[in-house]
Amino acid sequence: MQYNTKRTIQIFWEHAQKFRWLGIVVFGSAIIGSILDVWFPIFFKDFFDVVVREGSLSEKKDELYAILWMIFVVAALSRAVWTVSDYVGTKYHSSVLRSLAQYCFEYVHRHSVGFFNNNFVGSLVRKHGRFVWAFDSLSASLVWDLLPLIVSFIGISVVLAMQSVFLTALLAIWSFILILSTLIFSRAKLPIDVEVTSADSAISGQLADTFTNQVNVKYFNARPYEAQRFDDLEKSWQKIYVKSLHTEAHFRVFQGVMMIALQVGILWLAIMLWEQGRFTVGDFALIQAYVFTLSHKMWNLKHIIRNYYKSMADAQEMTEILETPIEITDKRNAKPLELSDGEIVFDKTTFSYHQTRTILKKLDLTIESKQKVALVGHSGAGKSTIVKLLMRQHDVTAGKILIDGQKISDVTQESLWEHLSFVPQEPILFHRSLMENIRYGKPDATDKEVVNAAKLAHADEFISNFPEGYETYVGERGVKLSGGERQRVAIARAILRNAPILILDEATSSLDSESEALIQQALDYLTKDKTVIVIAHRLSTIQKMDRIIVMEEGTIIEDGNHAQLLKKKKGMYAKLWKLQAGGFIE
């Protein structure tokens, strides 16, 4: 398995470099603070050596007070330096976290619609959060754990070398064995940590899927079934999580034995040196302080290395997404779309899903400027595919699509979407106020413009009945509104956007007959002086269209207006009309 560790660190480094001066202060303060912490015990050595030295107390008192004063100064200075590291570190870490979060947010949103169709939203949210906080965990461990450990080890080794090179060599061998064993253990445990992360993502995906479809869970009496599926996922997670904790517990036993060996071994050697007259009482105090410090920091070494691998495992899934090429991209020198008339041309357009299932076959279709065209046909005929290709949710397999003579693959996607308004069959709203949802069509619109658009879409009628009016929050995906209300909000948003090309996907499908009549009035206003494409199954809604395109298996089989197509008694449109005529007789 490829863990993308190198790429993850590279991304972290790129964003950390944006705030390098804050980072220099944080790391510099941590180094200085660690040096002062190593220096600090030396004064205790001097203090105890003075205490046991021959001579009267009055002769030693001033010297002891001077040492105490130095202890106070060094301790205060150490605390001040660490405080600077903490204070600046807060600003540094939060700045990098914000930068990483924004980068991930923007990159994920650049992915195509197909990417989101293949990924659980809940899992994406979890992966985004884990990636960002992986840096926080890694950076904090580096600044306040690993860096002090390295500085302390070097400083303590230098001080002890002045007493005994053999003592320092023993400490180095012990540290090498512990570090090597910790690295081997941590690398062996990495696949387990990755499995824990993957299992956790699967649980998040299951939660998001069932919460989103909670109505289906209730009305299909599927709670026991879904509960069992969720429990199966939890059991899988528990199994690998317990394995992870047991593996770690085994290593803690080995680490504990190593710590005992260090403490006993160092003091045993110190006694030998004391017998030789090379160690003083102060040296014992110094060694004891150093052994305690080093044991504590080395005990954390496992956590440091484990935290490193865990952070890499947490970031793994998001790094894969960041390394996944964007499916639909702008060409290198793509120019903005310059729209003059709004003519749309499909020139021998072919499209296949995954090169296996052909949906459109050399489609030739010209929609003239300000022409209103309806697409009808059985499900799977290619109607929605035409719209998706025009909006560049997918790129064509062969042929081309042009707007006012410009290939849409040659212009920027942002400029293409800027000239399009889309009203889907099932509008999905943000969990924001109605004012914000409608204003999404034109972010700089005034409140008056928003209200006017709502009135034209006959949405103001129900909005005004809410206690909070336009400041009413609609719930996730707009669940607090009825289907017809959501549809009218979407139409109001399109009216406010006022783009020259309008796409309607069964825009009146969620409305009752009375509401549909009102919406038809709004659509008459909305479609005026625009190039319009309508996907329709209810044929009563498209009688006034300039053209009706009937599709079958990715090709056009009929083309004309309502009256012309009805004259073809054996045509598909006439058959469809006859099937629906019972409910649509004028």
For residue 415, the SS3 value is helix
Indicate the burial class of 253 (C-beta count within 10 angstroms; 0-12, 13-18, 19 or more).
Answer: exposed
User: Which residue type occupies 199?
Assistant: A
Give the span between the Cα atoms of 416 and 91, in whole angstroms. 40
CATH number of 335-419+501-510+530-586: 3.40.50.300
Angle between helical axes of 483-497 and 447-456 (0-180°, round to 10) = 120
Q: Residue type for 180, please?
A: L
CA distance 236 to 484: 43
CATH match of 426-498 with 3.40.50.300 = yes
Separation in Å, CA 378 to CA 128, 394, 466, 538, 555: 40, 21, 40, 12, 12
What pLDDT shows up at residue 301?
Answer: 75
Phi, psi of 73 (to 5 degrees): -65, -50
For residue 365, the SS3 value is strand
Query: What string of pLDDT tens digits covers the 586 residues of the chain?
Result: 445 788 888 899 999 999 999 999 999 999 998 888 888 788 777 776 676 666 666 666 777 788 788 888 888 898 899 899 889 988 998 899 999 999 888 888 888 777 777 776 767 887 888 888 889 888 888 888 888 888 888 887 887 777 767 777 777 777 777 777 777 777 777 777 778 877 877 787 777 778 767 767 776 677 788 888 888 888 888 888 888 777 777 777 776 777 777 667 766 776 776 666 666 666 667 777 777 777 777 767 777 877 887 788 788 888 888 888 888 888 888 899 998 888 999 999 998 876 667 888 888 999 999 999 999 988 888 888 899 899 888 888 899 999 999 999 999 988 998 898 888 877 888 888 999 989 888 888 899 999 998 988 888 888 988 889 999 888 877 778 887 788 888 888 888 888 899 998 876 665 566 666 767 777 777 788 889 999 887 787 788 889 999 988 888 998 988 888 888 888 888 888 887 764 444 4
Other C-beta atoms closer than 10 Å to the C-beta of 57 total 8
How far is it, in rounded angstroms, from Cα 434 to Cα 430?
9
Phi, psi torsion values for 507, nearest 5 degrees = -65, -15
Three-class SS of residue 271? helix
What residue ranges of the chain are covered by domains with CATH 3.40.50.300? 335-419+501-510+530-586, 426-498
Collapsing DSSP to helix, strand or coil, 339 comes out as coil
Q: Is 340 helix (H, G, I), strand (E, B) or coil?
A: coil
The strand pairing partners of 367, in sequence order, are 344
Instruction: Identify the bridge partners of residue 477 per DSSP, sorted by sequence position.
Output: 429
Pick the CATH number of 5-322 from 3.40.50.1980, 1.20.1560.10, 1.25.40.10, 1.20.1530.20: 1.20.1560.10
User: What is the location of CATH 1.20.1560.10 in the chain?
Assistant: 5-322
Burial of residue 495 (number of CB atoms within 10 Å: 0-12, 13-18, 19+): buried
Q: Look up residue 40 and give its two tokens.
A: 């600090």
- Looking at residue 6, its amino acid is K
Pairing of strands 406-407, 398-403: antiparallel
Query: What is the pLDDT, as a whole number, of residue 128?
Result: 86
Measured distance CA(145)–CA(449) in Å, rounded: 57
